[in-house]
Amino acid sequence: MLNWGSGANNPKFKQRRQNLVDKLRDKGIEDERVLSAINMVPRHVFVDTALEDRAYKDSALPIGKKQTISQPYTVARQTELLEAKPGEKVLEIGTGSGYQAAILCELGAEVYTVERHKKLYEKARSTLRELGYSVQAKLGDGTKGWSAYAPYDAIVVTAGAPVVPDDLVDQLNVNGRLVVPVGSEERQEMVRIIKIRKDEFERERYSSFKFVPLIGEKGWKG
Ligand code: SAM
């Protein structure tokens, strides 16, 4: 499926990717599908070439516009909580580099993603296209979701929200999962909302993380 240009399949990075997967397993990631997706996606292609040597460390890296590609552990944990199955429709808010979208593609999901920064949106689209990942991408305010394609089986927000954006809850399918970090601008706890029935939800809370802010009409003010 992938057109691995730009040294994406370089053996040096392949070994580092395997080491990263081993580290994530040690840190408690259990879902083998998620780990194997991380083993497939060339994270170094999603960062500036000056940073590619750091791409397989378990840390966030800058991608421009004061934004980051999330720490691999964070991506793995959010993806694990999302429980995305092949063929499911998944919406990501906060495309950033496009890395998380590629991981979702590797899980066999039909991926929709929204980014508010034009430069990041354009760069992510071209990286994903170059690698052969098919993703529907939109430039806009993801705090309002993407109603044109709703409902979604799963929604992941990759920026920290002050509250759970209600439009995202509305755009969930029955049995749908919304994974969103919620809290202050300094620290957020991971929240998972599962839509049990039309108007019935289960809300679970997980450990805390530090994300860049979700900025928009239903998020922080920019
Ligand atoms: N998922 C990304 C990746 O794999 O590289 C990392 C995301 S970065 C931590 C968070 C992203 O959310 C940033 O690119 C930021 O511009 C974006 N963002 C913040 N508020 C947003 C909003 N209201 N709608 C869409 N994107 C938003």
Cα of 11 vs centre of ligand 1, distance in Å, is 30
Number of structural domains (the chain) is 1
Backbone dihedral angles phi then psi of residue 144, each to the nearest 5 degrees: -100, 5
pLDDT score, position 153? 98
Cα of 71 vs centre of ligand 1, distance in Å, is 13
Q: Is 222 exposed, middle or buried (0-12, 13-18, 19+ CB in 10 A)?
A: exposed
pLDDT score, position 222? 84
Cα of 143 vs centre of ligand 1, distance in Å, is 11
Of all protein residues, whose CA lies closest to atom 24 belonging to ligand 1? 142
Instruction: Judge whether 59 counts as a catalytic residue.
Output: no
- Decide if 214 is inside a domain: no
- Decide if 221 is inside a domain: no
Distance, CA of 8 to CA of 124 (rounded, Å)? 15
Distance, CA of 215 to CA of 157 (rounded, Å)? 12
The catalytic position among 6, 36, 70, 126 is 70
pLDDT score, position 7? 62
- Decide if 222 is inside a domain: no
Closest ligand 1 atom, CA of 159?
Answer: 10
- Decide if 131 is inside a domain: yes
Inter-CA distances, 118 with 45, 56, 100, 124, 138, Å:
19, 26, 18, 10, 10
> Ligand 1 pocket test: which of 158, 164, 167, 209 has the largest number of ligand atoms within 8 Å of its C-beta?
158
Closest ligand 1 atom, CA of 117?
Answer: 16
Cα of 149 vs centre of ligand 1, distance in Å, is 19
- Decide if 119 is inside a domain: yes
- Decide if 139 is inside a domain: yes
ipTM reported for the complex, 2 dp:
0.99
pLDDT score, position 1? 42
pLDDT score, position 6? 47
Closest ligand 1 atom, CA of 46?
Answer: 5
Distance, CA of 135 to CA of 154 (rounded, Å)? 15
Cα of 43 vs centre of ligand 1, distance in Å, is 17
Distance, CA of 17 to CA of 213 (rounded, Å)? 28
Range of the domain at 116: 11-209
- Decide if 5 is inside a domain: no
Task: Give the CATH number, domain containing residue 109.
Answer: 3.40.50.150
What letter does residue 10 receive in the DSSP assignment? -
Residue type, 206: Y
Around ligand 1, the residues with Cβ closer than 6 Å are 67-70, 93-94, 96-97, 99-100, 114-117, 120, 141-143, 158-159, 211-212, 214-216, 219
- Decide if 195 is inside a domain: yes
pLDDT score, position 179? 98
- Residuewise pLDDT in 10s, the chain (222 residues): 444 444 677 888 999 999 999 999 999 999 999 999 999 999 999 999 999 999 999 999 999 999 999 999 999 999 999 999 999 999 999 999 999 999 999 999 999 999 999 999 999 999 999 999 999 999 999 999 999 999 999 999 999 999 999 999 999 999 999 999 999 999 999 999 999 999 999 999 999 999 999 999 999 998
Distance, CA of 113 to CA of 94 (rounded, Å)? 7
Decide the pairing of beta strands 188-197 and 200-209.
Answer: antiparallel
